[in-house]
Each structure stands twice: as C-alpha cells, then as structure tokens.
Structure 1
C-alpha cells in the first residue's frame, strides 16, 4: 500500500511538471487586450475540513503564493476509492488562478498541494492546468 501510494504521488508530481511545462509552450492567438496565460484549477476535497480551517489554509498557503488574485468557489466532488471501488461524495472548493506562463507557478502549485495533503491528511488534490487568453 505504501509503495503504491509512493509510486502514485511520484507519477502525479511528474505529470504536474509535464503538464505545466507543456501547457506553457502552447501558442494561443489571443484577440484585443487578451494575453496568453495559464489557468490552474485546484480541486480540494473538504470532507472533514471546517470553514474556519479552510479560510486559514487559503490565507496562509494559497494567497501568499498567488497574491495578485484568484477565485474560490464551492463545489460538490466525487471520487472512487481504488481499493473498495465505492463512490464517495464530499464538499469541495475549487481555486482558479490565472498566471503568466513563464514564472515559477509549478513550484507554487506543488507547494499548495503538498501543504493541503499534509495539513488535512488528504490522499490527493486535483489539478487542471490549461492555456487560456485572459484580460483584466
């Protein structure tokens, strides 16, 4: 079990590296005032995480790493336990962050994910990274 989790997390870290690196190389044709940036969505399960604990995590781990802005919204997530094959549903938070493609965003995203998993004893945090045209 421990070995399979270690392999899973190693593979997830490699996938994060490849995803952010490859996505940063995508060329977009943005119009007008829009710029080609990256958009990351972090998917946090909150089965036993209180609102106060979430607010503290956001203030101490996420906002300092992305102080220029982000969006947080409530969601309902579900996942299948790989051992029991049962479907679990839980309250979730999605954090959406728009960022320039050529910065240290990969390291900052990884640090947020690891902090959440450690602090709240979570198996994983979902991450979606995609190129996008943005304007503010």
Structure 2
C-alpha cells in the first residue's frame, strides 16, 4: 500500500531559511517527570477510584508541587510472570520543575511513589524523566 508523507516547514529555498543554530531557543531548562499509577490492586482489593486518586493527589502531591501539575487518565498493559497480558485503568501524573531543582525534587517524587505503593498495595509506580525547555 503506498504511503505519502508531507514535509512540514517553510516553502522557502534552503538558503532563505535561518540555520538551526540561529533559531532562538525559548524557555529555560526544566525536568518533566511522568509517574504512572495503576488502579488494580494485586492483593485483590477494590480498584482505586477517581475520588481516592484525587484525594491522594491533594494530600501527597499538591503540597510538594503547589505551583501546578497535570493528571491524565490512561489505560495500561503489561505481561505478567505467567505470560498473560494484564490491562488496567491508570493515571499519568506530569510534574514540570526547573532543572536546578532536580536534586531537591527527587526525594519528594520518591515519597509520592512510595506513598501510593503503600496506600494501594501496588507493586510499583513507574517513573519517566526528560530534560526539556519550558517558556511560560
């Protein structure tokens, strides 16, 4: 099956476009941390509800990141130790903070992960980090 791709950008000739090195970089260095929270309990207890998760955010996350955060609903899957694909509803928490605060924020983020694992009998809370720039 044929596939077509579009090129996004200027129609100007290559010599008329600014070189990548001359393009202004906007924003400051930030760290974007994403935490992934499952809702099914391995111990067989009831799934974590929206109300419970939002209360967790209010109690554990907001005091540590009062300037702001983002919560998104998700669906996740993984292969268990028996080779079975497990699926569950999940939440993604996105935290954005200046790169200069990374050492200060790391233990706070680990406390959030540990608090959720303990409160809801979770095996783990996944953590993903990227360096980025942000301009507000």
Whichever structure has more helix as a proportion of its residues is 1
> In the alignment, is the contact (CA less than 8 A) between 1:30 and 1:36 conserved in 2?
no
**Partner of 1:74 in structure 2?**
73
Matched, 1:31 2:25: yes
- Aligned to 2:100, what secondary structure does the other structure show? coil
List runs of 5+ in structure 2 lacking aligned partners. Answer: 1-22, 41-46
Structure 1 residue 87 displacement after superposition: 1.1
**Partner of 1:44 in structure 2?**
37
* CA pair 101-62 structure 1, distance change in 2 beyond 3 A: same
Q: Matches of 1:96 and 1:127 in 2, distance apart?
A: 10
List runs of 5+ in structure 1 lacking aligned partners. Answer: 1-28
Structure 1 residue 56 displacement after superposition: 0.8
Structure 1 residue 30 displacement after superposition: 7.4
Matched, 1:113 2:107: no
- Pairs aligned (count): 106
Q: Which has the larger radius of gyration?
A: 2
Aligned ranges 1:89-128 → 2 under 5 Å: 89-103=87-101, 104-128=104-128
> In the alignment, is the contact (CA less than 8 A) between 1:30 and 1:133 conserved in 2?
no
- Aligned to 1:122, what secondary structure does the other structure show? coil
